[in-house]
Structure 1
């Protein structure tokens, strides 16, 4: 017998605490209110069981949190406009934490749980849960700019704007729970016949079926082309992968989990530009989990997400697998893919990187890719959105941190996440032509739906990137070694002069490299005096960040009264190495000045990929 009075008293006592927790968890007031309602509706539905619990709130709380994260669609930078500045600052500071850190902190402060209790709710060992809680409190204090002793009071103060909110009366909650119970009972009766008819099939099918995930605490992919020996048991638990509640901020709509397996089915290629099933062919175990937004309505962007995890034999093998994974996104041969941005991720385990890749083949898609290593485990998180807008990176890098936190306590894991931060840096080295531009660095050409193709580098006995104005030669005294390569679009059937070339030279000293560059700049300044048919426009640029100065020019040569030819040329230097990039456009295949300048900056960053002399 369910006692309404007992339930109403429980609802009156707990609803405000759970509303505060859901609001602090998501920063989404609407989602928090609906989650509290749904949580207590479920509690009345199961009140015969919940009322017998020593702590009924412990039963409702996970339901409320799960509903809040599932319903949460607003981003932290789109909060309620009526919030006071101090409350917005608190939510911003919480947004800096990984999902696990945020849960740990809120469970301790707002739910009043000790680490030996809340460790079960966030799926960590007691020691790991306590560590995450301490780290979360320290990080929150830094981001909120408060004394560590004020953390608890600051979080509880989030409840102030919630005191005036009206939640549904207990009687309304009970009516909803009763209606839900009746609906479930009717559905159960209707399904009983179906279950009875299908029982024979279910028994015979289950007796022979094999799961795509090996066991409750093990996942391996045995076979000659997969990780592990046939009888290997490796602790790579599907429970250590991200769940739907961990990735709510990565899309405008909820991401639904669509499947988890050990990557032995199909091609095994889950990532853009991936060239083989496993980054570590000798990996001990692998798991893949896919997420997808429901069918998008008009004007809504479809979003997909995949998490790939590989467990190597040791940290050294995992480091190699981490590098091999990154190489995939520096190649993309034969595809209209462009690597837009490259970052190192600090605070994401032992190693971390974040990349943004655009697939220009219609329909255009933008990939955000995070790769991280903790101990002997490498995880890759890849989100795809069907548009050409720059993605928001902050929620994604937080999700990478959450992925690391879930794996660092697993068998083979090591360093956990703190607060992942991105630092702009060079792209991952390409599989060949290290230190030089790759096809994935080159921009699309408007109106030309074909991919760039690069030639094999050769010694720079001639310099196809040079113009008659700069006359740069990478042969002779002072140059220890040189290479050149050219990029074309052979399928586009463009005029023969179209193309992009790069030539690099390693000089015997930094002084010689500087002298070479000074000589080129002098010849460019005097070119119009030496060649009356030439027009030279300089747009030297000093970008922010780790790259140095970019020296670039547009050279126009008047070949007849009615015809001229343009050349884009740029020289960059890193230490004793100089690179020259030259581009020859044609009327139907051009790029603009900012695009060429960005390409020159990428050439300078690529020089960091050069092996030591």
Structure 2
């Protein structure tokens, strides 16, 4: 593997982690992004020296030094982070720099005490003492125990995830440009010195530029021949029946087909609009398996070989978007997981098709070098394989190709629940794929384009809430209907309003005010009744509350709505669903929908 390939893999697998550590120790997202990028540029310039010597520690140390010295920006003098945990950032900023770095490395950096102490430059004994004093100081400043503080530390990842880093080729290009500028200055100084000394050396071509060097010397070390490597990939790199059998060891698994036709455009799974996501792939392979046993199961694996790493990354993003924007009738996204790896994370989505027969789809996406791999498991009913087992099968699919694709292989994986991927339109709102099926209606939900600020259409007569006013940004509303369904009254549908308050405290006060108004509603309005109350609270991440509110109407049938108010940091959403007879959702379904609305708030600008 070439040095370019090694660095690119290192950058993809570590840059997010380095950025979140730098953000926590500096408290300024702009500075954190800039110094992290500069640190990786320095890492590329020194790659031959650091590649085997704690490269990630080198990057984090360089970012820290740049933040303190090169930028002239002291980490305590940060910008206001109105959508982050400002209390925690302030408490961290009050710690001595070594103490702060140690506590951040041991939480967000997933580093043990010995390695963290070595990175900061203190002894193990000093490290223990500094960490202990840091914990004591944080507990005193916040009034919370270490377990709660650790969860709050980990929640800072949300803010760091909103920052985008440039691709690795941009890092390398800018690093080389910076080095060339330095070289030009040095050469100019040398020529000037020689001229004044009356001596100019011309033999040996010591001042030859890169333009007159052979192409092999100029480019060979910079660009791996990934196309040549990809020629080694064939059907032998696909999963075997034995590997697939771990998804259901009781079934007998057989290969039903293996297709290598790049012209075949028929999708092999439910949500994709095309068979392949790669533009002009060099090679494609699709293998199908069937499991004969107690359950009706099917597995499909696809490998797409792209012309380069950038094309493979684009294909990966396109694959995920096909499922994030899935608009098949009665198909709902239920769970999302991140498969954390040292060399780049994978994604798993679990979806349920509520048509007859009901089917559960588990879909895994991976990208290794120039190759994207998709694994789809389908089963009748809801008895899907454990996520950990599916993640191992997904990793097995990568190990079959990583050596020949310019990627990196590893068995070190961790599976964690995560937020759903962003949708293509209005990602801060619920997506069509989030909405539950309604009775036997076999038509697709549709979301109307969001509207701007104005009266809150999600407010009920009980709360009369307005997510608007001074300090509220990004406010808007979106209406959801099933336009092609028959037999539904005009009032049937859902509406969601979102907005970001000036601070988390302001958002908390607003949510509590809505709760109090709804709780007091039956006493103030004898025609109103409140039932089906529900709540969820994930600590520092999000919280929400749901109700069913009924109203007696003179000379007319009673009407009811389901409403929810949810909060994620300083962002708030109110969701109101208007049922009609049997066209309703259960209290459990509506609570799950409210939780998804809270997850989507991460994408609110």
What TM-score range do you get, normalising by the shorter chain?
0.5 to 0.7
Q: Aligned to 1:280, what secondary structure does the other structure show?
A: coil
Distance 1:334 1:261 in 2: 25
Q: Sort the Cα spacing of 1:423 and 1:335 in 2 relative to 1 into closer, same or farther, 3 A.
A: same
**Offset at residue 600 of structure 1 (A):** 0.3
Match of 1:344 in 2: 338
Superposed CA offset, 1:355-379 (max 9, x none): 1111122222211111122233221
What 5-or-longer segments of structure 2 have no aligned partner?
1-226
- Alignment partners' CA distance in 2, 1:427 and 1:387: 22
Partner of 1:420: 413
Distance 1:418 1:401 in 2: 7
Q: CA deviation at 1:450?
A: 2.7
Give the equivalent residue in structure 1 for 2:215.
none
- 8 Å CA contact 2:448–2:478 kept in 1: the answer is yes
Number of residue pairs the alignment of both structures matches = 377
* Residue 329, structure 1, aligned to residue 306, structure 2: no
Match of 1:292 in 2: 290
Q: Does 1:534 align with 2:534?
A: no
Who is 1:270 aligned against? 268
Q: Distance in 2 between matches of 1:415 and 1:233?
A: 14
Question: How far apart are the structure 1 equivalents of 2:262 and 2:515?
Answer: 56
The 4+ residue runs of structure 1 with deviation greater than 4 A are 230-233, 543-547
2:501 equivalent to 1:510 = no
Which residue pairs with 2:355 in the alignment? 361
Q: Determine if contact 2:239/2:400 at 8 Å carries over to the other structure.
A: yes
The whole-number CA distance in structure 1 between the counterparts of 2:461 and 2:523 is 13
- Spell out the pairing of 1:32-51 with structure 2 (5 A cutoff): none
Residue 244 of structure 2 corresponds to: 247
2:256 to 258, 278, 281: 258
SS in 2 for 1:491: coil
Is the Cα–Cα contact under 8 Å of residues 329 and 442 in structure 2 kept in the other structure?
A: no
For residue 593 of structure 2, the aligned residue among 586, 592, 599 is 599
Give the aligned partner of residue 234 of structure 1. 231
Q: Give the deviation of 1:424 after TM superposition.
A: 0.8
Question: Could you tell me how far 1:263 is from its partner in structure 2?
Answer: 4.4
2:398 matched residue in structure 1 = 404
Q: Who wins on radius of gyration, i.e. which is larger?
A: 1
1:345: Cα distance to partner?
0.9
Task: Tell me the distance in 1 between the aligned counterparts of 2:540 and 2:376.
Answer: 26
1:553 corresponds to which of 547, 556, 560: 547
Q: Which residue of the partner structure matches residue 376 of structure 2?
A: 382
CA distance in 2, matches of 1:461, 1:576: 20
Gaps of at least 5 residues in structure 1 are 1-229
Deviations 1:310-357 (A, max 9, x none): 233444443332222111111112432111111111238522111111
Contact 1:347 1:401 survives alignment (8 Å): no
Residue 41 of structure 2 corresponds to which residue in structure 1? none
Do residues 477 (structure 1) and 482 (structure 2) align? no
Greater RCO (CA < 8 Å, at least 6 residues apart): 2
Q: CA deviation at 1:387?
A: 2.0
Contact 1:510 1:575 in 2 (8 A): yes
Change beyond 3 A, Cα 1:543–1:424: farther
Q: C-alpha distance in 2, partners of 1:377/1:546?
A: 37
CA contact (8 A) 1:465 1:580 kept: yes
TM-score (norm: length of structure 2): 0.58
What secondary structure does 1:495 align onto?
Answer: coil
Counterpart Cα distance in 2 of 1:390 and 1:239: 27
Residues 368 and 405 in structure 2, CA contact (< 8 A), matched pair in contact too: no
* Contact 2:332 2:434 (8 Å CA) reproduced: yes
* Kept in 2: contact 1:288–1:309 (CA 8 A): yes
The 5 A counterparts of 1:20-169 are: none
